[in-house]
Amino acid sequence: QAFLAQPPSVSKDLGQTATLTCTGSADNVGSRGAAWLQQHQGHPPKLLSSTDNNRPSGISERFLASRSGNTASLTIIRLLPEDEADYYCSTWDTSLSAWVFGGGTKLTVL
Amino acid sequence: QLLLVQSGAEVKKPGASVKLSCKTSGYSFMDFYMHWIRQAPGQGLEWMGIIKPRAGRTTYAQRFQGRVTMAWDTSTSTIFMELISLKSDDTAVYFCAREAGGFSDWGQGSLVIVSS
């Protein structure tokens, strides 16, 4: 089972805003933040936001990452059809001395 | 241009072993950690371990300890992952990934099918 809790699915209308959450503990998200990955079917994941909430070069400003306590969030504004994908959070867990992932959220854009 | 190019698909019988490679280019190999991550069909991502080239160290996820060996070849900027005693639930796509604030760059994945 996943170490970080993500809702299995989120559905939003085209052009609306989706906020995806990732809940961990003080040993991981609370102390290290969380990185966000997007994965389209049949492709490797792509980094959308680093553990310190920075977007890599080339990532749209529509993707906004934040953290409050042990919960990280990814907000996607002005949803487009191509945003439909699986989204994973990940971070280092200081107690496990291991990288951990959330179970992923499948975002559907209606 | 940064590239991570992985070896091809493998079909193995239960109990066998598999060795995958990931050739990197376009950056300073010694200066970044590399990871192996796998994804079973229809499932999420699972971290397997980390290679720290400059430190000369590897660390494995607890559930793979004793079954996995990760290594690297500095001369070719290539990393390797060997998994032994394969079981059917090791069937997955195996990815290598470079760490830069997260898993910033990924190989294309290597499909490993374990079936009798």
pLDDT exceeds cutoff 80 at B101: yes
A78, A106, B6, B54, B86 from A16: Cα distances, Å: 5, 16, 38, 45, 45
If you search the block for the tokens 């090791």, which residue do you land on? B90
pLDDT exceeds cutoff 70 at A1: no
pLDDT tens digits, one per residue of A24-78:
999 999 999 999 999 999 999 999 999 898 999 999 999 999 999 999 999 999 9
Interchain proximity A104–B46, CB inside 8 Å: no
Q: What is the pLDDT of residue A18?
A: 98
Q: What is the pLDDT of residue A2?
A: 75
Tell me the nearest-neighbour CA distance from A98 into chain B, angstroms: 6
Q: Which amino acid would we find at residue B19?
A: K
Interchain proximity A45–B106, CB inside 8 Å: yes
CB neighbours of residue A18 within 10 Å? 19
Share of chain B above pLDDT 70, in %: 100
Q: What is the spatial distance between Cα A66 and Cα B110, in angstroms, rounded to a whole number?
A: 33
Nearest to B45 among A36, A49, A101 (CB): A101
Tell me the nearest-neighbour CA distance from B57 into chain A, angstroms: 14
Query: Is the Cβ–Cβ distance between A106 and A86 less than 8 Å?
Result: yes
pLDDT tens digits, one per residue of B44-73:
999 999 999 999 999 999 999 999 999 999
Tell me the nearest-neighbour CA distance from A18 into chain B, angstroms: 21
